[in-house]
Amino acid sequence: MTSISNRLQAILSSIESAKQLAHADQTVQLLAVSKAQAAAAIREAYAAGQRQFGENYLQEALDKQTQLSDLAILWHFIGPIQSNKTQLIAQHFDWVHSVDRLKIAQRLNDARANNSSPLQVCVQINISNEASKNGVLVADLQATVATIAKLPHLQLRGLMAIPAPSLDLSVQRQQFKQVRQCYDNLLALGYQLDTLSIGMSDDYAVAIEQGATIVRIGSALFGARPQ
């Protein structure tokens, strides 16, 4: 039987192989995406050494945080954000990857004001330029980042993207390349960034090749999500 622990070890070693194959020298962290998984599954991954978990739905995450409050987990919010959820997200998470508009950044900043440490954030970019998708359009990225970088209770760490899914890895590679290009442009402008949050269960090796520093992996670790 394949346990979460076995799969965790397998993923960590394939992250290393992907780095070697691509001669990539960045640090790559595994974010375990635990949406729709029971608290017991998170506990199992934690016992195997995993410390960073990503959740998409606020209420579900808060319930699991209560059940797991004895563990030293670093919680990342990675789902779409409605503005009436920013208060709780800012108070109950260490990281937010899905900051996709200024209003959300401003509200997260204000809600974090009483916390001793800034909220670690990534700006989500809409690389496929689909109107229906979340994320800042590439054309608006510089202006958005300029404003977010000034917010005192947020620490801007980098960029996150969820490219349109494709079974063709060369299409994924091209999309990740574009994200990397945006990231490099911001570095060239002098922003102190260290995080490129790209890559999921089916394409993380390609994301690592293109410079991912955080890969967000759910089903490859926990198995198919329960309905």
User: Which segment (8-16, 63-71, 101-109, 217-225) binds ligand PLP by CB under 6 A?
Assistant: 217-225
H helix runs in 26-151, sequence order? 39-47, 58-67, 86-92, 102-111, 141-148
Dihedral angle over CA of 15, 126, 157, 10, nearest 10: -10
Does residue 200 touch ligand PLP according to CB under 6 A? yes
Does residue 162 touch ligand PLP according to CB under 6 A? yes
From residue 22, give the alpha-carbon distance in Å to each of 19, 71, 166, 203.
5, 35, 21, 14
CB of 102 vs ligand PLP, minimal distance in Å: 20
CB of 190 vs ligand PLP, minimal distance in Å: 28
Does residue 217 touch ligand PLP according to CB under 6 A? yes
Query: Taking the CB of residue 92, how many other CB atoms lie within 10 A of it?
Result: 15
Residue nearest to ligand PLP (CB): 218
CB of 103 vs ligand PLP, minimal distance in Å: 20
Sign of torsion over alpha carbons 91, 89, 48, 28 = negative
Among 5, 29, 56, 166, binds ligand PLP (CB under 6 A): 56
CB of 202 vs ligand PLP, minimal distance in Å: 6
User: Which segment (61-69, 87-95, 99-107, 210-218) binds ligand PLP by CB under 6 A?
Assistant: 210-218
Whole-angstrom distance, CA of residue 52 vs CA of residue 30: 7
Q: Which is nearer to ligand PLP, 57 or 191 (CB)?
A: 57
CB of 158 vs ligand PLP, minimal distance in Å: 15
- Produce one character per residue of 181-195: b if its CB has 16 or more CB atoms within 10 Å, e if not: ebbeebeeeebebeb
Query: Taking the CB of residue 22, how many other CB atoms lie within 10 A of it?
Result: 15
Site for ligand PLP in 131-160 (CB under 6 A): none
Report the interface residues with ligand PLP, using CB under 6 A.
Answer: 33, 35, 56, 78, 162, 200-201, 216-220
